[in-house]
Amino acid sequence: MTDFFHRFRRTIALLLSIVCLTLCGLGALSGCASGNVSVMRGDESQESHERNSEDNMTDIVRQFNFSTRTVELNNGITMPLNGLGTYSLHGEECTKAVTAALNAGVRLIDTAHIYGNEQEVGQAISESGVPREEVFVITKLYPDQFDGAAIAIDQALEALDIGYIDMMLLHHPGTNDVAAYRAIEDAIDEGKVRAAGLSNWYVDELEEFLPQVDVTPALVQNEIHPYYQENDVIPYIQKLGIVVQGWYPFGGRGHTGEMFADETLQEIAQTHGKSPAQIILRWNLQKGVVVIPGSSNPDHILENTEIYDFELSDDEMARINALDRNEKHDWY
């Protein structure tokens, strides 16, 4: 029955696309439908088509509103540009970190089933006094949950105990990931989840995965930092109208000291009267990457929010871009 429902939904989506083509003309699909699909017309040159795709990427970056500190996702909801990552935070340390973040004005909290701290995150939010609708909560399904994804989503809702989940991601590609994503689609229809996304998906994985699902991911969350910049992946994702979010923006646990001591980052930090951490976060934002640095230190959590009162020059951005050395640090 579920497979029939999804086939039916895809058929309806196709019929709507045909209607949109009829009403608006072949060249207007992206404007009449979701705005996230670029279709080449028969009379459109490859150069023009590529320019339209480039415009999609530019639009994503332009949607970063530095006044409101939010970005509009492809489903119309808004998400904060900076947040708190909670990997490795447990118990009282986790609740205190989330509380400190909320007190510092942070309104984006990232957690996951595998982190084992959804309950603490939810508790801190519930006890903070901050209205629920002001906080954007991301959690994730781990591959060992994919077979029973619908149940796992309900378990996440129960653990968080905050009414609903703003965004549910698949934590990694894995067996039955398409079926798990469809469970998230169903949860969106049921009002349990507001948006769907992916984590640790790259170009090859996305090219295989996306044609199999109905709801375009609103976000892809990957490791991104000056030493691992994903300069081929980020533009690809943004051209699809999908927002990119970076975890480990400081290079990962055990590697932050080296990155903060980088001569280039130190020089740019001194120019702006900022810390290397703030320079890295601002560099991400100007590339169109949402940031979720992790910390349990209230001073560092506050420092990581103070990234909106300065701007990096084109030259400074280029100098940081030149630091890329494809140095990846998996979190697990």
Domain map (residue ranges) of the chain = 1-49, 66-321
* pLDDT reading at 313 higher than 60: yes
What pLDDT, on a 0 to 100 scale, did the predictor assign at position 63? 86
3-state DSSP assignment of residue 108: strand
Q: What is the largest CA-CA distance in the chain?
A: 61
**Arithmetic mean of pLDDT, 50-65:** 69
User: Rounded mean pLDDT of 242-253?
Assistant: 90
pLDDT tens-digit map of 64-81: 999 999 999 999 999 999
What average pLDDT is seen over the chain? 87
Burial per residue of 254-274, b for 16 or more beta-carbon CB atoms within 10 angstroms, e otherwise: eebeebbebeebeebbeebeb
Residue 242 · residue 217 · CB < 8 Å: yes
Is 88 exposed, middle or buried (CB count within 10 Å of its CB: 0-12, 13-18, 19+)?
Answer: middle
Among 115-124, 133-142, 237-246, 323-332, which stretch is predicted with the lowest mean pLDDT? 323-332
Q: Catalytic site residues?
A: 115
Architecture of domain 66-321: Alpha-Beta Barrel (3.20)
Structure tokens at 65: 């509103």
